[in-house]
Amino acid sequence: PNGIGGVETAFPLLLNQWIQRDLPLPRLVDLMATRPAQIFGLAPRKGDLQPGADADLVIVDPGRRKGVEARHLLTRADWSAYEGMEAIFPEQVWRRGTLMVREGKVVNDTPGRFLPATLPDRKVLTG
């Protein structure tokens, strides 16, 4: 297939750059979690940490940076376009209040559940 893998590295790479530029972390949360959940009709269940929400979250140590190495990624590809770039990978990943990943290792491989999203109106995306 065409393209490059990036789902696994998008947040770690962006977080590293965000922190290096001393940008406000709540804005990053809004851009990567809150707004996408709202746009695709998944809020308030997703994209927020409020009573009744799913409690999906990542725990990071902003001082713990490491280079991207394809051999440590979960993707099937044996290479990464981001090889060697500095990133801040999650220490833990939680889904619906259950620990799923710790220190880059999957500790719970229970499959997730499909949540049907609504396609956003064009005006929502373009303003």
pLDDT in tens, 25-70: 999 999 999 999 999 999 999 999 999 999 899 999 999 999 999 9
Q: Is residue 43 part of a domain?
A: yes
pLDDT, mean of residues 69-93: 93
Provide the number of structural domains found in the chain: 1
Give the global pTM: 0.86
With respect to residue 70, please indicate whether it lies within any of the assigned structural domains: yes
| 118 domain-assigned | no
What count of residues does the chain have? Answer: 127
Query: Is the residue at 115 inside a domain?
Result: no
In a domain? residue 2: no
pLDDT band at 75 (very low <50, low <70, confident <90, very high): confident
What is the C-alpha R_g of the chain? 16
CB 43 within 8 A of CB 34: yes
126 band by pLDDT with thresholds 50, 70 and 90: confident
Task: Check: CB of residue 53 under 8 Å from CB of residue 44.
Answer: yes
Average pLDDT score, the chain: 92
Has residue 68 been placed in a domain? yes
Amino acid identity, position 83? E
Per-residue model confidence (pLDDT) at position 125: 73
Q: Which domain holds residue 14?
A: 7-50+61-89
Residues 57, 36: Cα–Cα separation, whole Å: 15
Q: Is residue 74 part of a domain?
A: yes
